[in-house]
A and B are shown apart, each in its own frame.
Chain A
Amino acid sequence: MLLIPCPYCGERPELEFRYGGQAHIARPENPAALSEEDWAGFLYMRDNEKGVHAERWRHVHGCARFFNVVRDTTTDRILGSYKAGETRPETLR
């Protein structure tokens, strides 16, 4: 079980959280103008990174807020976390 650093509540066990998939997938600015290809990319295509991965988590059984975690998917080691809406810090690349 992971120990996840919520930026609001501190480190808590994974059971308190829900996974939210790859981070920083922005909703299209103008959905009506989007091609089928781009829709498929937005909705379904994922980096599925083998290595350092930025992902969303939600502290459902705590503050209930979304935030971002950077984790190495080859070791599950968490490198750090930051609030939703913030850009990924250079130190977590």
Chain B
Amino acid sequence: MERFSGLSLLRHAFGGHQGWKPFWREPAPKAAYDAVIVGGGGHGIGAAYYLAKEHGLRNIAVLEKGWLGGGNTGRNTTIIRSNYLFPESAALYNHALKLWETLSETLNYNTMYSPRGVLMLAHTVHDVQVFRRHVHANRAAGVDNEWLDAAQCKAFCPPLNISDNIRYPVVGGALQRRGGTARHDAVVWGYARAADAMGVDIIQNCGVTGIRRNAAGAVEGVETERGFIATPKVGVSAAGNTSVVMAMAGLRMPLESYPLQALVSEPVKPDFPCVVMSNTVHAYISQSDKGEMVIGAGTDAYTSYTQRGAMHIASHTLDAICELFPAYRRLRMLRSWGGIVDTTPDRSPIIGKTPVPGLYVNCGWGTGGFKATPGSAHVFAHTIARDEPHPINAPFSLERFRTGRFIDEAAAAAVAH
């Protein structure tokens, strides 16, 4: 793997930028692997990277039905934060946040992680009570989060309208300064490049069509669009399509898949210094390094796999954005799109073993999986390699829907459900 640095950039510049090599190979699938990951998004390709790096599994493959990072990894609004309420979640998301901080150096690839601060707005007495509870719970769990009054919110985010003549005036906000954004494509490309260098086969345009099991019920391999691949371990990291893949092994999942939308404006000069979210009026916004305002809308009311959302959902969010940031009323929206998010009843993910020996699943990230990418990938790799969960993902088992030990994070999810 070519080591990237200022010097290598300069060297390539003198060569007229003709010497750049592809970041990963395009291998044909082998007949057998020690483990196969289904789904080449950030979580899946990241898990392959950690399997190779920390657990010595080099004879592994990532199967992606489309192109790398073309699903929810390339469709989210790139927000990173860890201010969840319960200790189990705080541990999981904070694990991810710590990995984000050094990810560019670890992968020798600029993921453009920018801890510019995530401000969650409160508009009602109820919001204030809930957010203050979050702030205290986070601080007790070692996660940074602080309470700002409206004037402090305005000082932190100057474009914000804190006047009292709007429908839901801003009365304060919870700020996580270590939260921020990262470049979603760079995350998956960085992981892919590093995993490929360790021998991981990344196979795109290779959808899985079946999961073959032996007489004892254990996984034997996967049927794919490019033939059968034998493997004793299959890690499913298929986001919105998880129910479909798990059904191939005869499992029903506590998941429902909904379209979630996002949109970006035309690019403008740097104006928006942080990330602002509001659950109550339902809007979230940040500015990309290209200059686009990146805006997240809500989920549709009904389950769907269409990767597009309804007009009225996006329009509702834009109403809120225009009221909170009146200066942006004249911005034109350039693009909008949808991704399919798999939501669980308690709005927490499922990372762990399944009743099928050799089959592992990482799903249920719902509307907020991007922020957890490195942490999720790291503990999922541990679960696959050791055949037992890492202490951090042990509470996030599929079992909890039978035992009732939920991790109810509906209030901490970015998107109101």
Binding site for B on A (CB under 8 A): 1-2, 14-15, 17-19, 21, 36-37, 39-41, 43-50, 53, 55, 71, 73-76
A41 / chain B contacts, CB cutoff of 8 Å: 252
CB-defined contacts of A46 to chain B, threshold 8 Å: 243, 252-256
In the complex, the answer to whether A48 meets B253 with C-beta atoms within 8 Å is yes
13 cross-chain CB contacts under 8 A: A14-B301, A21-B256, A21-B303, A36-B402, A39-B402, A40-B401, A43-B401, A45-B253, A46-B256, A48-B342, A49-B303, A71-B302, A73-B257
Q: Give the top 10 A-B pairs by smallest Cβ distance, nearest first.
A: A48-B243, A44-B254, A45-B252, A19-B301, A40-B402, A44-B401, A40-B401, A19-B302, A36-B402, A50-B244
The contact of B310 among A1, A21, A44, A50, by CB within 8 Å, is A1
| Given known A-B contacts A36-B402, A40-B402, A44-B401, A50 and B306 have beta carbons under 8 A apart | no
Q: How far is the CA of A48 from the CA of B364 in the complex (A)?
A: 13
Residues of A with C-beta under 8 A to B257: 48, 50, 73
Q: Chain B interface (Cβ within 8 Å of chain A)?
A: 241, 243-244, 252-257, 301-306, 310-312, 342, 345, 401-403
Give chain B nearest CB distance to A78 CB in angstroms: 10
Choose among B241, B255, B304 the residue that contacts A76 (Cβ–Cβ < 8 A).
Answer: B304
A72 to B303, CA, bound (A): 10
A60: min CB distance to chain B, Å:
11
CA distance in complex: A48, B253 (Å): 8
* Assembled-state Cα–Cα distance A76/B340 (Å): 13
Q: How far is the CA of A43 from the CA of B252 in the complex (A)?
A: 12
Query: Which residues of chain A are near B306, meaning CB under 8 Å?
Result: 73-76
Q: Which residues of A contact B402 (CB under 8 A)?
A: 36-37, 39-40
> B243 contacts which of A40, A50, A71 (Cβ < 8 Å)?
A50
Given the known inter-chain contacts A45-B252, A45-B253, A48-B257, please indicate yes or no for A1 contacting B312, CB distance below 8 A.
yes
Asked if residues B305 and A73 are in contact (CB atoms below 8 Å), the reply is yes
Q: Are A48 and B255 in contact (CB under 8 A)?
A: yes
Max count, chain B CB within 10 A of own CB: residue among A19, A46, A53: A46
